[in-house]
Chain A
Amino acid sequence: MTDTLVDTSDTPGAAALADTWTVAGRTFSSRLIVGTGKYKDFAQNAAAVEASGAEIVTVAVRRVNISDPKAPMLTDFIDPKKITYLPNTAGCFTADEAIRTLRLAREAGGWNLVKLEVLGEARTLYPDMRETLKACEVLAKEGFAPMVYCVDDPIAAKQLEEVGAVAIMPLGAPIGSGLGIQNKVTVRLIVEGANVPVLVDAGVGTASDAAVAMELGCDGVLMNTAIAEAKDPLRMARAMKLAVEAGRDAYLAGRMATRRYADPSSPLAGMI
């Protein structure tokens, strides 16, 4: 795995600061990646990113509105020099569409770290793994570092790694559903088998879902709708930041074993 963690025995505070993760040679402190879709406006979006503590945001690649070139742009509100833009291929249903989109993204942004997703159908937005694998291989050969949205299948995850994925990003539940992590077993199996970072991408609805993903040993969580569609997106952004940190700490701390029955916490000896 790519985690960096110093000895925690004496200075847990300092250790928490040193708990970074690395993807394709880039090191980040925040384990929360947030999307930039569905917000009321760019100002709310920027404030939510700030509250979430995210260092990476996903962005889409779309045609410039040539009839209104002076319309506000995302880059005016979220500075790509301070926050890493992770261009996605949302809306692409074939490998060719996704590759074309990311070639343009690389030209627009000038970097090779990208999020690959190739969708199978509009109703579920479930990934088409045959097309995803094809696109991942081509992109890796062209020098891209693809972080890949995928099914929660440990075999598919291995295959993605073999063709050059720099991060495996299984869905917790369908995109935008907010249903939470539906299959904890497969996510754990992916984490245990991966040699690259694993991030749950999609399905998180509330803070406890993010904590569950991190407690399973994921390196991070990617979400959009859970924050953007909360009644108070800024407060939810902060909740997600704390949940990811809490889940990560719980994972590192190593949870207690479960018991079938009660075990008193106060001594039995010395009872009056």
Chain B
Amino acid sequence: MASETPGELLLTVNGEPRRIAPGATIADLVASLGLDPRKVAVERNAEIAPRSTLADVPLADGDVLEIVHFVGGG
């Protein structure tokens, strides 16, 4: 794991710890992961984060995020 930089936020993303710069939004997180926001859905602290608002929602220390997409299934 990357060493801690003062002020960084500690998130849980899809069950894994992840650090991000303070002030980052959900859209910043999605972009930093290399994901196309049009193909995923995001839940923040058990609530849906609507796609249209991803760039407006600043992340907070301790946030738990789930980022999902469609996979093969029956």
Contact = CB atoms under 8 A, between A and B. Distances in A.
Interface of A: 35-39, 42, 45, 58-64, 66, 69-70, 73-75, 80, 85, 87-88, 90, 100, 103-109, 175-176, 223-225
A84 to B, nearest CB: 12
Contacts of A42: 72
Contacts of A69: 33-35
B74 A58 contact: yes
B14 to A, nearest CB: 4
B40 A38 contact: no
A104 B13 contact: no
A96 to B, nearest CB: 10
A184 B49 CA distance: 45
B39 A88 contact: no
A75 B14 contact: no
Nearest to A63: B14
A59 B70 contact: yes
15 contacts: A36-B71, A38-B74, A61-B41, A63-B14, A64-B40, A66-B33, A66-B67, A73-B39, A73-B69, A90-B74, A104-B48, A104-B66, A104-B68, A106-B41, A176-B74
A107 B41 contact: yes
B34 A59 contact: no
Contacts of A100: 43, 46
B16 interface: yes
Contacts, number: 103
A58 B61 CA distance: 36
Interface in B9-53: 13-16, 18, 33-35, 39-43, 46, 48, 50-51
Contact of B35 (A64, A85, A106): A64
Contacts of B34: 69-70
A36 B39 contact: no
B6 interface: no
A80 B74 CA distance: 16
Most buried by B among A63, A80, A176: A63
A87 to B, nearest CB: 7
B38 to A, nearest CB: 9
A90 B74 CA distance: 8
Contact of B70 (A87, A90, A225): A87
A172 to B, nearest CB: 14
A36 B68 contact: no
Contact of B73 (A64, A80, A90, A223): A90
A108 B70 contact: yes
A107 B70 contact: no
A64 B72 contact: no
Q: Closest 4 CB pairs between A and B? A: A60-B73, A224-B74, A35-B74, A108-B41
A37 B67 contact: no
Contacts of A224: 73-74
Contacts of B66: 63, 104
A37 B72 contact: yes
Nearest to B72: A36
Given A63-B14, A66-B14, A103-B48, A85 B73 contact: no
